[in-house]
Amino acid sequence: MRLPTLVGTAFAALAAIAALPLVRAHSESAVQIDAPKVDATPAEGLQTAVLAGGCFWGIQAVYQHTKGVTKAVSGYAGGDKKDADYHTVSNGRTGHAESVQVTFDPKQISYGQILQVFFSVAHNPTELNRQGPDSGPQYRTEIFPQTEEQAKIAKAYVAQLDAAKAFPRPIVTKTGTMKATFYPAEAYHQDYAFNNPGNPYIAFNDAPKVENLKRMFPALYRDKPVLVADAK
Residues serving a catalytic function are: 55
Rounded to whole angstroms, the Cα distance separating 79 from 146 reads 16
Rounded to whole angstroms, the Cα distance separating 54 from 205 reads 11
Residue 8 CB burial class (10 angstroms; 0-12, 13-18, ≥19): exposed
End-to-end CA, the chain: 31
Rounded to whole angstroms, the Cα distance separating 210 from 66 reads 9
206: nearest Cα among 53, 34, 42: 53
231: nearest Cα among 121, 70, 66, 35: 70
How many CB atoms are located within 10 Å of the residue 81 CB? 9
Beta-bridge mates of residue 48? 103
Kindly give the residue spans of alpha helices, DSSP state H, lying in the chain: 9-26, 56-64, 86-89, 111-117, 148-163, 192-195, 200-201, 207-216, 228-231
